[in-house]
Structure 1
Amino acid sequence: MPDIVYRPRGRVPGTVAGAHRGRDAGGLGTFRDQVPFLRMPDARRIDVRATLRDPFEGTYVRRFESRTSIEVWALVDLSASMRFSGEADRMELVSALCGCLAASATRIGDAFGLMGCDATVREDVLLPASRRRSIAAEVASRLAGAACTVDRADGMEEAARRLVGRPKIVFLISDFRWPDAAIANTFSSLARHDLVPVVVADAAEEEGLPEWGLMELDDLEGAGRRVVFMRPSLRRRWIAREAERASTLRRIATAYGRPPFRLSGRFDPDAVSRHLLAS
């Protein structure tokens, strides 16, 4: 499987060597600019040509841009609606995405961490950020065994509070069937990080609706089963409501980070890479 290619938005703070453009400048790395000797008194980096060109006889040194690592985190919604299976099994898609992210991050020297949340942060689906190559297999194993039975995802806000320290890349993975206020609060809590919302969706929720007929709907979050007589007017309202929900999520997401990525049908690492490099 190909790697997921990503890059942080802006320069990354920190001193651990890695693959991304660092915020700090020094004597090693990629050439950045030339500065007066007094700003960076390193005689080993004196730029003879720039010094000779200065009419005021100043001395200049070359400054280089450091390459730094970053932590990549996946915050996964484990509420009951995430066990929906239509065109594809949602948790299988999530497991494939997180496993590929973990492998891609550790391969270039970044650390990867995982938190699963329902009403609280699930300790059984918690992996601290690590650069171990084997973490990709652990991520897939934890998610494969995770039960999605609780009807809330309040633990997302608690997970956001745990991500302290330097800014990180955070993949927030959910179907986002939450109240708008909960979505806004969670995104606001993660605003200091490079936030990547991933919407786990299924074409069966829209395209699978018939024009006419009886449908038995099962609310996975505890409201029970209900038989509905589907008709064109109800189908139009259903689709319009889904479009409105997607538009609201996109508006909130772009206010705090990147636009959402829709994960539906099958996992395509190249599609994820294109989204991350374009946003």
Structure 2
Amino acid sequence: MTAGEAARVETAQPDIVYRPRGRVPGTSVGAHRGRDAGGLGTFRDQVPFLRMPDARRIDVRATLRDPFEGTHVRRFESRTAVEVWALVDLSASMRYRGEADRMDLVAALCASLAASATRIGDSFGLLGCDGAVREDVSLPPTRRRGIGPAIRERLLAAPCTAARADGLREAGRRLVGRPKIVFVISDFRWPEALVAEVFSGLARHDLVPVVLADPSEDEGLPAWGLMELDDLEGAGRRTVFMRPALRRRWLAHEQARADTLRRIATAYGRPPFRLAGRFEAEALTRHLIGT
């Protein structure tokens, strides 16, 4: 695919609209509210001349209204770019296929994130992880437009065979410097201690957990019948006789796991976004704007 074709594909996709929590530090010009104030940008407030001695920004009306004859200048809010990162779990459970292929959803999400970020001047980076950080999948942050299809192809080609996702600890330690928007994308079938450790390591960033799920994992469970279960992380296959009592316990366990994830996530960042069935940029936008 040529660069022009890639750009046309990205333009046809709906954007994921996001905004960082709070003002963003940094000097790179972008689309988000910056932490610094100066002589250019969006009007913020008026301050005494001695706080910002810039004669070009003197506010004549405010100066004339001051009963103490002080001189006032207009201060403006800078617009700043931010780094957007996707940390993707590539452990074996991410190979699950129910109503949708789990890695198809991941690839569609990351391609859309990359297109949306680079379109407004932000940079996008990718870290794939299983037992370690996967250098064959990861990409450094870039503002180059048209990278969405390449990211999609890279993720779809990535093998998911490892039994663990401990590499996400190391991924968090790599994100140094000023705060970033970090999407952690996984089914989160991890020990609770690992979830807490990964999220606490990303607490200085704007953390957005994205939970990969599938309707077949809960809504599709029968009340009665034989089911063959395949543990993708190496525990083998087993046959289970599903019955109403077991189904209730199963669903209660899944709900408890979701509640635990939400509790830990909201302690360090935003509540999780559940991605199931198919990817919709509008649904993720509503989640990001509302949290």
Provide TM-score, normalisation by structure 1.
Answer: 0.99
The Cα shift of 1:144 comes to 1.1
Runs of 4+ displaced beyond 2 Å? none
How large is the RMSD of aligned CA atoms in angstroms?
Answer: 0.5
The residue type equivalent to 2:161 in the other structure is T
Listed as ranges, the matches of 1:1-279 within 5 Å are 1-279=13-291
C-alpha separation between the residues in 1 aligned to 2:117 and 2:83? 8
User: Normalized against structure 2, the TM-score is what?
Assistant: 0.95
Using the TM superposition, give the Cα deviation of residue 138 of structure 1 relative to its aligned residue in structure 2, in angstroms.
2.1
SS at match of 1:56: coil
Q: Does the residue aligned with 1:277 lie in a helix, a strand or coil?
A: helix
Quote the Cα distance in structure 1 between the aligned partners of 2:215 and 2:149: 29
Aligned residues: 279
Letter matched to residue 222 of structure 1: G
- Whichever residue aligns with residue 33 of structure 1, its letter is D
DSSP-derived class of the 2:137 partner: strand
For the residue of structure 2 that corresponds to 1:72, the secondary structure is: strand
User: One-letter code of the match for 1:97?
Assistant: L
Percent of pairs identical after alignment?
Answer: 78
Unaligned runs of 5+ in 1: none
Shift of 1:165: 0.3
**Which structure 2 residue ranges, 5 or more long, are not aligned?**
1-12
The C-alpha deviation readout for 1:164-220, integer Å capped at 9, x for no partner, is: 001000000000000000000000000000000000000100111111111110000
- What's the offset of the Cα at 1:255? 0.4
For residues 99-152 of structure 1, give each alpha carbon's deviation from its aligned partner in whole angstroms, at most 9, with x where no partner exists.
Answer: 000000000000000000000000011100000013212211210110000000
In structure 2, distance between residues paired with 1:64 and 1:212: 65
Q: Aligned partners of 2:49 and 2:266: how far apart in 1?
A: 42
For residue 67 of structure 1, give the secondary structure of its aligned residue in structure 2: strand
Q: Report the Cα offset of residue 93 of structure 1.
A: 0.3
